[in-house]
Amino acid sequence: MKCPRCYEGNLFTYSHPHSLRQLHLMPEHCEKCGLKFTPEPGFYTGAMYISYGFTVLLFVLYFFVLNIGLHIEGFVFLATYASSLLVLFPYLFRYSRTVFLHLFYEYKPEAKEAYLNHVHLK
């Protein structure tokens, strides 16, 4: 969960994902290269599609392992899947935002040098 431009700056203010009050907090800019993490209002709404893909992938995985492989049916299958989603929610949320941001920015190692030179010149 690092900056997509320099791969060094942290995307989230607090590293512990299970602190639900601070789960979504992100710095405004990368501290290493200066990339703005929220380019426009509502930018991360698109991350919901990434999160949906993760949950569908997880459902298919659980279906094949639990329902077909271990022959667990009905309520136990759904309860196991739902409880897994509750536990994995912070990770799915953060990884969805990370993947979505990485779709729009490419890795530029020289951006860190340019940003540091610009900051020191001020």
Give pLDDT tens digits for 61-86: 999 999 889 998 889 999 999 999 99
Query: What pLDDT, on a 0 to 100 scale, did the predictor assign at position 67?
Result: 87
Q: Which two tokens mark 113?
A: 């040098």
Give the residue from 10, 13, 17, 3 showing the smallest Cα distance to 87: 17
Q: 61 forms bridges with which residues in the sheet?
A: none
pTM of the full structure: 0.84
- Reported as a pLDDT band with limits 50, 70 and 90, residue 46 is very high
In this predicted structure, the answer to whether residue 121 has a pLDDT above a threshold of 60 is no
In this predicted structure, the answer to whether residue 33 has a pLDDT above a threshold of 80 is yes
The ranges assigned to domains in the chain are 46-103
| CA distance linking residue 72 with residue 66, whole number of Å | 5
Query: What pLDDT, on a 0 to 100 scale, did the predictor assign at position 110?
Result: 85
